[in-house]
Amino acid sequence: MDNPTPDAGKPDQEALPGERRTRLSGAWTAVVVGLIALVVILVFILQNQQGVQVSFLMFSGHLPLAVALLFAMILGALIVFAFGAARLLQLRMVAGRARRHGS
């Protein structure tokens, strides 16, 4: 009564042509996501054209609100990238020491 189907236990079934994920399909997915993000950013910029006073350290000036926010986003992304890169370097150094002492 509780007989499983013969294919239920086989997770390694052959993929049909066109079902496998390839580098090209990944690239197309990235292009589509990038274009959607570009459209969203463009709409954001077009809807936020009013000028704002921006002061940062010794710099001061007027910028459109969208441009000021995009600069802040880019600066934040650079900071996150720098901390991530430092952490990866730290982990690689620890792994290298462990390999040298382990062998």
* Structural domain includes residue 11: no
Q: Which residues contact 65 (CB under 8 A, 6 or more apart)?
A: 48, 49, 50, 51, 52
* Structural domain includes residue 36: yes
pTM of the model: 0.54
Count of CB atoms within 10 A of residue 66's CB?
19
Domain that holds residue 67: 23-102
pLDDT given at position 6: 54
Q: For 31-51, how does the pLDDT look when each residue is reduced to its tens digit (9 = 90+)? A: 999 999 989 988 888 888 898
Give residue 15's identity as a one-letter amino acid code.
A
* Structural domain includes residue 15: no
Q: For 71-102, how does the pLDDT look when each residue is reduced to its tens digit (9 = 90+)? A: 888 999 999 999 999 999 999 999 888 888 87
pLDDT given at position 28: 86
* Structural domain includes residue 77: yes
CB 52 within 8 A of CB 65: yes
* Structural domain includes residue 92: yes
* Structural domain includes residue 42: yes
CB 45 within 8 A of CB 66: yes
Secondary structure of residue 2 in the 3-state scheme: coil
Total of domains in the chain: 1
* Structural domain includes residue 4: no
pLDDT given at position 2: 57
